[in-house]
Amino acid sequence: MGLSRLNGLSDDELVEELKEISRKCRVEIIKMVYRAQAGHPGGSLSEIDLLTALYAINMNVNPNDTKWEDRDRFVLSKGHASPGMYSILAEMGFITHEDLESYRVLGGVCQGHVDMKHTPGVDFSAGSLGMGLSFGLGCSFAAKFDGSPRNCYVMLGDGEIQEGAVWEAMMAARHHELGNLKVILDCNRIQNDDFVESQMRLFNIPEKWSSFGWNVKEIDGHDMYQIIEGMRWFDENNDLPSVLIANTVKGKGVSYMENNPKFHGAAPNEEQYSKALLELGEVI
């Protein structure tokens, strides 16, 4: 499962490898958004450490057989944070690094929001918030009916769970005891207009989710040791649906984007672009 070249590494070595993959993905995210002069860097940068570990450790997929029936599914419900997903798909070999240049370009492999009809490795066409968990439930049901060990992973944003239908899905997943459904909540605390706290407070998310009867674990979504532990926790909990609540920083890795609502959906200018690449250790 995951990236075979990482098998057999010690945790310290694994953490270093994952950090480097994440760093490279962050560079690609910035490049994509800069080239398109549009897109969503903030949520891509907050999710990328989690996506890197998910693909490198858990996901049982084959880039050479993208429609393989027994592959694990991944649903990026916060589908606007597509640069993050495209960068890891390129790293995994589902798409090429040249494909990343087609982000938001007519006829491109990389649509503005993730789209299963355009991009190999994308299992759901998202973009409208609050839909991915229900879709993931359907994938989990299918795996159960097939008697397959495959899992369905879904990533949600914290602002996204303001959508009421997410809670319908939470209830249904527990009711049907879909232990093969694994959710990562990217809690970056910022939504389109402003901080989540100012738009619609969510209060105690772990407590709320626990009260729906799920397995719940909270981690620092940028501490690679904790992330690895969370990914292993997914593997160990298959009785009920599980959610990994990851506290993250929107715009993580680029100083002026961090915790800045402005970079939810805005591209850097030329000066900002150079600064971002410099901060990410990329030689221009």
Partner 1 sequence: MSNSAASRDGYGHALISMSEDPKLVVLEADLGKSTKSCWFREKFPERTISCGIGEQNMMLVAAGLASSGYKPFASTFAIFTERAFEQVRNGIARPNLPVHICGSHGGTHTGTDGSSAQSIEDLAIYRTLPNMTVMHPCDDYSTQQLTMKLLSHDSPSYTRTARNKTPRIYELNDSRLEIGKGVLLKSGSDVAIIACGVMVSKSIEAAEKLSEMGIDAAVVDMHTLKPLDESLVYELASKCKGIVTVEDHSVIGGLGGAVAEYLSESKPTILRRVGVRDRFGESGQAEEMLQLLNISTKDIIKSALDIVKME
Q: Where do contacts with partner 1 occur on this chain (CB under 8 A)? A: 69, 73, 115-117, 123-125, 127-128, 131, 134-143, 145-146, 152, 164-165, 168-169, 171-172, 175-176
CA angle 144, 181, 110 (to 5 degrees): 110
Shortest spacing between CB 128 and partner 1, in angstroms: 5
Rounded to an integer, what distance in angstroms lies between the CA atom of residue 238 and that of residue 212? 16
In the sheet with 181-187, reading across from the earlier edge strand, the strands are: 73-76, 152-157, 181-187, 242-247, 215-220
- Report in angstroms how near the CB of residue 136 gets to partner 1 at its nearest: 6
CB of 2 to partner 1, least distance (A): 22
Q: Which two tokens stand for residue 112?
A: 């503005």
Q: Output 145 or 284, the one with its CB closest to partner 1.
A: 145
Helix spans in 7-127 (H)? 11-36, 41-53, 82-92
Q: Is 135 or 263 the residue whose CB approaches partner 1 more closely?
A: 135
What length is written for the chain? 284
CB of 41 to partner 1, least distance (A): 23
CB 215 within 8 A of CB 188: no
By beta-carbon proximity to partner 1, the closer residue of 13 and 70 is 70
Closer Cβ to partner 1, 143 or 257, answer by number: 143
Q: Whole-number minimum distance, CB 242 to partner 1, in Å?
A: 18
